[in-house]
Amino acid sequence: MTPVLDLQNLSVDLPLGGFLSRARLTILQDVNLTVARGESVALVGESGSGKTTLARAVMGLQGMSGGEIRLDGQPVAGKAGLARLRRDATMMFQDATASLSPRLTVGYLVTEPFRIHRQPLPDPDRMARDLLATVGLPAAIARRYPHELSGGQARRVGVARALALRPRLVIADEPTAGLDVSVQAEVLNLMADLRRDMGLAYLIITHNLALVRHVADRVAVLYLGRVVEEGPTAEVFAAPAHPYTASLIAAEPKPDPRRRRADLAIKGEVPSVLRRPSGCEFHTRCGLVQDICRQNAPDLHPTTTGRLARCHFADQNQEQGDHHALEH
Amino acid sequence: MSAPLSVENLSVVYRVAGGILQAVRDVSLSVQRGEVLGIMGESGCGKSTLAAAMINLLPVGAEIRQGGVRINGTDMLKLPPAAQRALRGQSVAMVFQDPMTAFNPVLTIGRQLADFAGAHDPARATPDRLVAMLARVGIPNPARFLDRYPHELSGGMRQRVAIAAALLMQPDVLIADEPTTALDVTMEAQIIHLLRDLRTSFDGAIVIVTHHLGVIAELCDRVAVMYAGEVVEEGTVDAIFHAALHPYTRALLACDPAVVDPSSGRLPTIAGRIPDLTALPPGCAFLTRCTMALPACHNPPPRVLLAEGRSVLCHRVQP
Amino acid sequence: MSSAVDDITLPARRGIGRALLRDPMGLAGLVLVVAFLAMALLAPWIAPYDPIALNVKAKFQPPSAAHWAGTDHLGRDLLSRIIWGARLALGISITSVGIAGALGLVLGLVAGYGPRWLDSALVLVFDSMSSLPMIFFALAVITVLGPGTTTLILVIVLVSFPSYARLIRTQTLSLSGADYILAERAMGAGPVRIIFRHLLPNVVGPMVILICMDIPVVIMLEAGLSYLNLGVKPPSPSWGNILAEGYNSLRQAPHIVVIAGIPLVLATLGFTFLGEGLRDVLDPRGAGRRWT
């Protein structure tokens, strides 16, 4: 079956600036990623990993320097392709309140996709009411302005608007950022319901691993603009094949004082893309670094269990993770 | 000896267009030396207002209605402004969510740290001391670091510098308002470790204000849970996370996506919303959302003291 | 210190009108501006005499029951001339500033959101226009086209639109990276929709304030040019003409200059106060007031 979204060797670079300088900075390098119909894929990484750039490149908000985006098997090209993409795929922004035009009412904003794509909208009020009901908001919200909404309400309005034209793919950039835990739970439940009822596919961009565990079937981990590991969520969490994935999982604060971590999970900071490390780009922070890692860059290759990892020792890491999991 | 920080029956209101908004209601807390107190709660619970009141730097429109904030036994709120300023920075220091806003963008880190320390005590502003402090908060190559500008640093580094600045005067109390919220997971883990190390090396009290349950569990000794301006439950971190008594604390812990097993399907939620803080009901503020409410809950709930530092604001709890 | 209040859900902001009414300065400005507008609109009905009817026998009369503000050197009723003068002063200033504002708004939006080359070209135009000294430019245009109301409006439009355009361009540039503009682009909205529906309502606020502050400048300019016989042609009752004629007869009737100065002062104060009041209400930097 053709996937809804198929990214092939997606690369983005930006001019470094400077007078007459032709130097360019690589932000994303040869990212391959697919999202099947009704599937939920998470893209995980720290700030500077390029995950937001990827979302913007997919929506045509950021120019690409190479690669191809296919929607339902068809390459996205030209104005018509972009219009099709922006109708069938929608984006939820990280800051939900800021992504709503401040001087317009919620009722107008949720029905705006119809106006943009010149779709029939015989009764805007009724459509607004229905869309708001889909995301569990009362009809009265339609008369409010964005600054009058709470964080959770704004998030729901963003979802309602993203769903207006019944897209097949929703790209969600940190869908729970800045929300309280009880509201996070509500938003995640809503996303799960919509996926089941409308057959939506999700590409979720986040650094919140709890969120990934709950909503993603598959996860891809991004480091300095490259995928370093990809595989089914449960397997990746149980036995990460890349040390970076393992460190991210270990770094997550556990809401249980009896399971406090004794040691620091990951040292140092994400290196600057201006000075990419030699060999494996993670070697400067890796706890398992060997000599080979400093010289030779590993490829993204399949592990024994069929996942993908960009590490010389992916198979050993994965086995150790499995043993570790068995012990507990 | 008196506690480095104690808050007594503090109430803070905001004057808003719709009337009087009760942000903090009759809160009493104290922190001992070497102890980390967590103030945990969701948006609108008043935790940030409480943190700001602890150093008496409330925003425009806020007003302290009653109560006191004692620093080493002295009520800061009763001091003249100059004495309060001397206290801030020397005895109480604060670290904010976004450390970028705490720095002047056109001055180097070294210059700002020196100015800050020099304003209180020039003897502490020597480069050696600044370098030693930066090294203590885990900054690599601290000597070279003094010449850098705030925008050249990552969020995690800025937060380390902010903590170094707060510790320069060896305060008795360090208040951190959402210190890791703006950071990535790995940076968050590093700052948690730094604060945990400081707890043993720095002989003062630490107050952490956050909505992130994981940060509280990793870092705090005692926890105060806030809801609608009140401390609804207080206890050791283990008691709060493993033997919570207030229905709100329980509900909050139950719905954290980090706790719930992913295979269980739907996440639990807390139905309803926090009450309008300008028109609070006479009874328990959590009543409309509580699944265990009694008829008595329409009356103000009692503060049930179970042990020293362990209390619950609920009709259902028996002493 | 905003973090301390971020976790409090604040009630919605009240309307601009109501906020303006609570500000004493804004209220005073609003009252004065409304009074002058009423005067201008109702001139034919409220002016007691014909403003250009001569009555040489009754020249240089001091204020009296028949002529509340006295008469001038040709015996014309001063009060009637001032009332009709409001029509001219406000008509010219509002028309010219309105045209300049509309022009500045559209050009500023296009420069701010359009392609880079267009922006560079437009900025060059704005900069060269505003590098011309205002009064010499005005004199040059008047010399070429001859004095008159149309020339006056043209001069004011040409002189003032670049400052509006630059203000709007700066605002547009800073907003075009905002999340909601990105969100609109991600939904497939085209530039026309983004400019007129999403950028325009968010950039006009500061320009409205600037316009209010500029109207008195234009009223003064009109008075000044008319005084120099370069603006509205006599016998039209422009405030500048009244002043100029009053100045010629300062010895016989000093009251003329004093009385003719009053509407100028009041109109200037009215629009300035209204502008100040609007700034406090509209300017996001005044957002601190929201908490009070």
β-bridge mates for residue A12, sequence order:
A28
Q: Using the beta-carbon criterion (under 8 Å), do B217 and A260 form an inter-chain contact? A: yes
- Cβ distance B36 to B219 under 8 Å? yes
Tens of pLDDT, residue by residue over A47-69, are 888 898 999 999 988 888 989 99
ipTM score of complex: 0.84
A149 C-beta neighbours (distance < 10 Å), count: 22
Q: Crossing angle of helices A181-198/B247-254, nearest 10°?
A: 50
Taking CB atoms and an 8 Å cutoff, what residues of chain C touch A91? Answer: 183, 186
- Domain-wise residue ranges, chain A: 33-65+77-216
pLDDT at C245: 81
B159 touches chain C (CB under 8 A): no
Q: What is the dihedral of CA B219, B223, B225, B230, to 10 degrees?
A: -130
Counting as low any pLDDT under 70, the low residues of chain A are: 17-21, 263-265, 322-328
Task: Decide which of B113, B147, B170 is a domain's last residue.
Answer: B170
Q: Assess if residue B308 is contained within a domain.
A: no
Look at residue C9 and tell me whether its pLDDT is greater than 90: no
**B9 membership: H or E segment, kind and range:** strand B5-16
pLDDT at C15: 61
Range of B242-251, C43-52, C131-140, C255-264 with top mean pLDDT:
B242-251
Look at residue C164 and tell me whether its pLDDT is greater than 90: yes
Q: Using the beta-carbon criterion (under 8 Å), do A148 and C12 form an inter-chain contact? A: yes
Q: In terms of CA atoms, which chain B residue is nearest residue A216?
A: B262
Task: Decide which of B137, B155, B170 is a domain's last residue.
Answer: B170
A200 touches chain B (CB under 8 A): no
List all residues 6 or more positions away from A227 whose beta carbon is below 8 Å from its beta carbon.
A31, A32, A33, A220, A221, A300, A308, A310
Tens of pLDDT, residue by residue over B152-173, are 888 888 888 888 888 888 889 9
Q: Using the beta-carbon criterion (under 8 Å), do B211 and A181 form an inter-chain contact? A: yes
Domain count, chain B: 2
Q: Assess if residue B289 is contained within a domain.
A: no
Q: Assess if residue B235 is contained within a domain.
A: yes
pLDDT at B275: 87
pLDDT at C16: 64
Residue B114 shares a structural domain with residue B215 = no
Look at residue B39 and tell me whether its pLDDT is greater than 70: yes
C189 touches chain A (CB under 8 A): yes
β-bridge mates for residue C13, sequence order:
none
Residue located via tokens 């309602």: A160
Contacts 24+ apart (CB under 8 A), C33-40: C33/C270, C33/C271, C33/C274, C35/C270, C36/C86, C36/C90, C36/C263, C36/C266, C36/C267, C36/C270, C37/C90, C39/C83, C39/C86, C39/C87, C40/C86, C40/C87, C40/C89, C40/C90, C40/C91
Nearest to C259 by CA among C72, C103, C26: C72
Q: How near does any CA of chain A get to the CA of B83, in Å?
A: 37
Architecture of domain C36-54+62-286: Orthogonal Bundle (1.10)
Residue B139 shares a structural domain with residue B248 = no
Sign of CA dihedral B171, B172, B176, B180: positive
B97 touches chain C (CB under 8 A): yes
B227 touches chain C (CB under 8 A): no
List all residues 6 or more positions away from A93 whose beta carbon is below 8 Å from its beta carbon.
A99, A158, A173, C179, C182, C183
**Partner residue facing C292 (CB), from B15, B45, B51:** B15
Task: Give me the mean pLDDT over the B43-65 stretch.
Answer: 89
d(C-alpha A233, C-alpha A220), whole Å: 9
pLDDT at A18: 63
Look at residue C4 and tell me whether its pLDDT is greater than 50: no
pLDDT at C193: 93
**Partner residue facing C292 (CB), from B51, B58, B60:** B60
pLDDT at A226: 93
Residue bearing the bigger pLDDT, C43 or A82: A82
Look at residue C46 and tell me whether its pLDDT is greater than 90: no
Q: Assess if residue B286 is contained within a domain.
A: no
- Cβ distance B304 to B317 under 8 Å? yes
In this predicted structure, which of B228-232, C56-60, C240-244, C250-254 has the lowest mean pLDDT?
C56-60
Q: Print the domain residue range for B190.
A: 5-91+173-278
Task: Give me the mean pLDDT over the B15-25 stretch.
Answer: 86
Task: Decide which of B170, B189, B205 is a domain's last residue.
Answer: B170
CA C207 to chain centre: 11
- Cβ distance A91 to A175 under 8 Å? no
- Cβ distance A214 to B263 under 8 Å? no
**Partner residue facing B47 (CB), from C7, C288, C292:** C7
**B311 membership: H or E segment, kind and range:** strand B310-313
A33-65+77-216 under CATH 3.40.50.300, yes or no = yes
Q: In terms of CA atoms, which chain A residue is nearest residue B196?
A: A262
List all residues 6 or more positions away from C205 whose beta carbon is below 8 Å from its beta carbon.
C282, C283
Q: Using the beta-carbon criterion (under 8 Å), do B14 and C4 form an inter-chain contact? A: no
- Counting every residue written for chain C, the total comes to 292
Taking CB atoms and an 8 Å cutoff, what residues of chain C touch B177? Answer: 3-4
- Domain-wise residue ranges, chain C: 36-54+62-286
pLDDT at A325: 52
A247 touches chain B (CB under 8 A): yes
Nearest to A67 by CA among A6, A8, A12: A8
B-contacting chains (≥3 CB pairs under 8 Å): A, C
**DSSP letters along B193-241, please?**
HHHHHHHHHS-SEEEEEES-HHHHHHH-SEEEEEETTEEEEEEEHHHHH
Q: Assess if residue B315 is contained within a domain.
A: no
Q: Using the beta-carbon criterion (under 8 Å), do B61 and C2 form an inter-chain contact? A: no
Look at residue B311 and tell me whether its pLDDT is greater than 90: yes
Taking CB atoms and an 8 Å cutoff, what residues of chain C touch A152? Answer: none
Residue located via tokens 């010629």: C248
Task: Give me the mean pLDDT over the C43-60 stretch.
Answer: 78
d(C-alpha B282, C-alpha B272), whole Å: 18
Q: What is the 3-state secondary structure (H, E, C) of B57-120?
A: CCCCCEEEEEEEEEECCEEHHHCCHHHHHHHHHHCEEEECCCHHHHCCCCCCHHHHHHHHHHHH
What's the CATH code of the domain at B206?
Answer: 3.40.50.300
> Which of C 3-32 lie inside 8 A of B, CB atoms?
3-11, 13-14
Taking CB atoms and an 8 Å cutoff, what residues of chain A touch B43? Answer: 150-151, 180
